[in-house]
Structure 1
Amino acid sequence: MSSDKLTSIHTAQIDEIHDVPLIVIRRPIPPVLDEVKVKSLMETYKTNPNQIPPIDVMWIKGSEGGNYYYSFGGCHRFEAVKRLKMEKIKCKLFQTSADDLLFYLGTKPDLK
């Protein structure tokens, strides 16, 4: 299956792919990594990076300005890129709200 066929519910309708600096992506949940998978992805990034689908990243525009990026999936791809000392990772951005982020983090937003 080609990488353009792999999608998530959040980004199935998003075609645009961005190169996002690793340094701006927040990953609030520590990953549980399979070292074999990370090493395999590292090799694929070196030889045929276009076979690897982008990660999904939540994009929140701050109420007082600024952009915030959160990723909960793609931990093996993120780690492979990090270990290869690449500065950016391919992402599909889906704009959402701070309330949605709170749901992902397991807290209940104030819905007043």
Structure 2
Amino acid sequence: MSIQSGNIGKISYLPLNQIKRPIPPVLDYDKIDSMESQLKGIPMASKTCSLEEARDLNGELPPIDVMAIKENDEIYYFAFGGCHRFQAYERIGPDAKVKCKILPATKRQLKLYLGGSVDHIFEKADGSGN
């Protein structure tokens, strides 16, 4: 749980391929192995999670904070955290549904994370960019 999503009780499940992750992650592959095992229903301890805590998750991972931006009558999803969880979902397969807490946001707020490249992202998404 993060400061941003602490008050959000609703959990959503989004297809992995709908969430854009514009910042490359730095990864700990042992942690990803543990999370992948968790998603497969085989709890495993890691540096950040005891075996007991893993068992308590019942085959799921904590939700990832995802920003939802409505632009050109479409909703675009962006995530900046949860890198290891995303990698675990990717290993499960392209049809994986990611457990999320969705944070409504604006293009202007997204610009705080990505700067001027935000306009380019939306141009590509709607086909108007080069």
**TM-score bracket for this pair, using the shorter chain length:** 0.7 to 0.9
Residue in structure 1 matching 2:28, options 34, 47, 51: 34
Equivalent residue, structure 2, for 1:49: 59
Flag structure 1 segments of 5+ consecutive residues without an equivalent: 1-6
Shift of 1:35: 0.5
3-state SS, counterpart of residue 49 of structure 1: coil
Equivalent residue, structure 2, for 1:4: none
What are the superposed Cα offsets for residues 25-53 of structure 1, whole Å, 9 maximum, x if unpaired? 00000111100000011111111323x21
Flag structure 2 segments of 5+ consecutive residues without an equivalent: 42-57, 119-130
TM-score computed with the length of structure 2 as normaliser: 0.72
RMSD across aligned C-alpha pairs, in angstroms?
1.5
Equivalent residue, structure 1, for 2:92: 84
Shift of 1:80: 0.2
- 1:60 lines up with 2:54 in the alignment: no
Shift of 1:103: 0.3
TM-score computed with the length of structure 1 as normaliser: 0.84
CA distance in 2, matches of 1:57, 1:65: 18
3-state SS, counterpart of residue 80 of structure 2: coil
Equivalent residue, structure 2, for 1:3: none
Shift of 1:88: 1.0
Shift of 1:75: 0.5
**Structure showing greater relative contact order (alpha-carbon pairs closer than 8 Å, 6 or more residues apart):** 1
Equivalent residue, structure 2, for 1:96: 105
User: What percent identity do the matched residue pairs reach?
Assistant: 46
How many residues get paired? 100
Shift of 1:106: 4.0
Shift of 1:61: 0.8
